[in-house]
A and B are shown apart, each in its own frame.
Chain A
Amino acid sequence: DGGITQSPKYLFRKEGQNVTLSCEQNLNHDAMYWYRQDPGQGLRLIYYSQIVNDFQKGDIAEGYSVSREKKESFPLTVTSAQKNPTAFYLCASSINADPLGAFFGQGTRLTVV
């Protein structure tokens, strides 16, 4: 079955540690996206990638980093520079550069203590 998989579903980290969230898709989609969701703020774009080995900053990229070495994978690293990392993170992919028509993963809830 084709889909987009995020792992883990829940993640706990100590303050000051970097943490990497996984996102894998087998839909053969070129574009992939990372969003952060906070209560009352909807989805905010962190990074997106339209092609392998290329990615662009979104609206709130500070404190985050990504890589796109393979078409199927778009991992997100939350660095210690991110001031308020506790949030729900959603990964998405789309066949073209249309984030609204994207398929979404099930999300990862990151809690930094």
Chain B
Amino acid sequence: SQELEQSPQSLIVQEGKNLTINCTSSKTLYGLYWYKQKYGEGLIFLMMLQKGGEEKSHEKITAKLDEKKQQSSLHITASQPSHAGIYLCGADTSNQFYFGTGTSLTVIP
């Protein structure tokens, strides 16, 4: 079983549509990181959340950590082809570090 479950596993959207990716844990998340990975390349850090209820935005990407600190969502508004790639969450659950299974996003022009 995976400590961090991401859903959906893959997503295909039309350009301009909004989308949400979820990252869920059965344990409290003390630090939740979101990364983007272009196919066949390394990870690029997007955002980090630490406090329950925290929300951060960068351009058209918004990440939230729920009040219980067990689930995070990544929301992309008005998706563009440049948003395509694999999105991974990573988290610290009491000094154990895990990465999610990844969500593959395809944006159709």
Q: Which of A14-22, A61-69, A77-85, A97-105 contacts B (4 or more CB under 8 A)?
A: A97-105
Residue contact A107 to B41, C-beta cutoff 8 Å? yes
Give complex CA distance A105, B41 in Å.
8
With a CB–CB cut-off of 8 A, which chain A residues contact B18? Answer: none
**Secondary structure call for the B interface:** strand
Residue contact A107 to B97, C-beta cutoff 8 Å? no
Interface size on B, residues (CB 8 A): 22
Q: Is B12 an interface residue (CB 8 A)?
A: no
Residue contact A40 to B90, C-beta cutoff 8 Å? no
Residue contact B42 to A43, C-beta cutoff 8 Å? no
Q: Is A55 an interface residue (CB 8 A)?
A: no
Give complex CA distance A92, B97 in Å.
14
Q: Quick one: given A100-B90, A100-B91, are A42 and B99 in contact (CB under 8 Å)?
A: yes
Residue contact B101 to A42, C-beta cutoff 8 Å? yes
Give complex CA distance A16, B6 in Å.
35
With a CB–CB cut-off of 8 A, which chain A residues contact B90? Answer: 43, 99-100
Nearest-Cβ distance from residue A100 to partner chain B, whole angstroms: 5
With a CB–CB cut-off of 8 A, which chain B residues contact A88? Answer: 40
With a CB–CB cut-off of 8 A, which chain B residues contact A98? Answer: 92, 97
Which A41-77 residues sit within 8 Å CB-CB of chain B? 41-45
Nearest-Cβ distance from residue B48 to partner chain A, whole angstroms: 8
Give complex CA distance A104, B37 in Å.
10
With a CB–CB cut-off of 8 A, which chain B residues contact A107? Answer: 40-42
Residue contact B88 to A43, C-beta cutoff 8 Å? yes
With a CB–CB cut-off of 8 A, which chain A residues contact B101? Answer: 40-42
Q: Is B85 an interface residue (CB 8 A)?
A: no
Give complex CA distance A106, B38 in Å.
10
Nearest-Cβ distance from residue B8 to partner chain A, whole angstroms: 12
User: 3 closest Cβ contacts across the A-B interface?
Assistant: A104-B42, A43-B99, A104-B43
